[in-house]
Amino acid sequence: MELSDYSKIHQMHHRKEKMMAHLHPSKGGCWFCHEDDENECLFFDSEFDTYVHKSCIRQELSKDPASGSYNPEAEIMKYLLEEDNG
Ligand SMILES: [Zn+2]
């Protein structure tokens, strides 16, 4: 398979997830704040099978990993933020 084919499929896959997040916002709240804030869209994370706010991931990442309140899940969900740059 050509590399370009793979990236096309990869993009389609992610687009589908974003659509799901828009279609089913009431299915679950954010992984971090447990809220479904209608002012900010929730993104679906396929690693943990949950919805998250991008702002909440950013907030987690800004915390000190040594502090007790840090959620290491944010490290794994970081890829959702990186999609913005593509
Ligand atoms: Zn949140």
Residue with tokens 């096309």: 8
Total domain count for the chain? 1
Distance from the CA of 86 to the center of ligand 1, in angstroms? 23
Counting beta carbons within 10 angstroms of the beta carbon of residue 80, is it exposed (0 to 12), middle (13 to 18) or buried (19 or more)?
Answer: buried
Domain span at residue 59 reads 3-85
Q: Model confidence over 15-41: pLDDT tens digits?
A: 555 544 444 444 578 999 988 877 888
Quick one: how far is CA 68 from the chain centroid? 22
Distance from the CA of 11 to the center of ligand 1, in angstroms? 24
pTM: 0.62
Please count the residues of the chain.
86
Average pLDDT over residues 32-52: 87
Q: pLDDT tier at 61 (50, 70, 90 boundaries)?
A: very high
Distance from the CA of 62 to the center of ligand 1, in angstroms? 14
